[in-house]
Structure 1
């Protein structure tokens, strides 16, 4: 997204502090790689890896998801996707909604993207006037109810207990630090085979993804039905 100069300065200082703390204060390496794999993790030797850094309450992250999803379906197993949460400090409740994704991913990774899409569809429930006068506890309670409604009542105890689980808090922090270490400064932010795409913070349409991916693969096919 386009940042105003004031927001850019604040975020720049914030990320520098986070980067310093991540490098100096990180005493242990996480037990597993960060990110949510989309579909099967196993990939072909010549597959293309796309890494997306999303904020669940970022409108540009929301707008970038449908064309990226379409491109992944178009190219099938030759293109793999990993999504990382990157809660921006100036987006209301970005950390709490990101944490909800880590909570759900722990017992059932297949539900993670369903929840991400639910957050994208109903972003207005979690920022601005909707939560301006709410306490942190009240916001968490709202998220718990939202998740149980979006995914089903069987997830109620999982999401509720997850917000008291220090492991999910740690996983969300690690994801943010990982983004800082990679030089991420806004959302959406994309890497293809480890290299950052230009125009970070802007949604890339389907045609744009084709222009990025086509030169990296031989002949695009439709592996999945739309």
Structure 2
């Protein structure tokens, strides 16, 4: 009899647990909706490159400015996009990997540059790629966070055209911190867990975390670009 008495209680507990889980899920969904950023994450490459995404092949790259694989992936991607522009658009999403100690600083620096001089964002990204060894974990092990921000500001001022002190003040702006956080969170919502990661027209490309060479990019993009003249209605209303 005791066994039978326990059964309804167990069922009630399971139902309560299921209800609690459902409520938690919907609360998380609502929170995620409420915290959507005011603009789409990332930086468009080239003048007006992302003006008409619906008419172009859209490549999205998640890159860490202090990641060697991101560095190696950049030049082949850049050349491939430039070959097909404006039929191919590129958006780069900063994605600071947690095991690169000052990657978050570097991503904030990109947002500071974009605010001070939007045309300097990609030159600064390339400066980071060129000078990564200055900001590797071992190179900064004896430096404090403010000291690293100073060094990044000195380097960034060459690309941006503003003084190092003016650039450094951007690290005190909570908006650059928030923007870099949004970039990381956005990558997580897309299932990104490393760098570089690439999406083409919303579809994840294989080999996440490894560079894609130029010839492979051509083999990916060429068939898509060649089909752009064909208007295909994927969905029709009934």
What's the TM-score, normalizing by structure 2?
0.79
2:199 equivalent to 1:174: no
User: Residue 210 of structure 1: CA displacement?
Assistant: 0.5
For 2:190 and 2:221, the matched residues in 1 are separated by: 21
Aligned to 1:101: 110
Alignment of 1:6-155 (within 5 A): 26=32, 27-39=34-46, 40=48, 41-43=50-52, 45-152=54-161, 154-155=162-163
Rounded to whole Å, the distance in 2 between the matches of 1:74 and 1:61 is 20
Equivalents in 2 of 1:90, 1:31: separation in Å? Answer: 29
Q: Distance in 1 between matches of 2:189 and 2:66?
A: 22
In the alignment, structure 1 segments of 5+ residues that lack a partner are: 1-20, 221-226
Structure 2: gaps (5+ residues): 1-26, 229-238
Between the two structures, name the one with larger relative contact order (CA 8 Å, sep ≥ 6): 1
Number of equivalent positions:
199
| TM-superposition CA deviations, 1:78-102 (whole Å, max 9, x none) | 0000000000000121000010001
Change (3 A) 1:28 1:70: same
Q: Give distance in 2, aligned partners of 1:212 and 1:189.
A: 15
Asked if the contact 1:44/1:78 (under 8 Å) is kept, the reply is no
Q: Are residues 177 and 22 of structure 1, via their aligned partners in 2, closer, same or farther at CA, if it must alter by over 3 Å?
A: farther
Q: 1:22 & 1:49 partners in 2: Cα distance?
A: 29
Distance 1:24 1:45, change over 3 A: closer
**Cα distance in 1 between the residues matched to 2:160 and 2:59:** 26
Check the 8 A contact 1:44/1:77 in 2, yes or no.
no
Q: Over alpha carbons, which structure has the higher Rg?
A: 2
Rounded to whole Å, the distance in 2 between the matches of 1:119 and 1:218 is 34
Match of 2:9 in 1: none
Question: Which is further off, 100-109 or 160-169?
Answer: 100-109
Aligned mates of 2:28, 2:220 — CA distance in 1? 31
Q: Distance in 2 between matches of 1:45 and 1:179?
A: 22
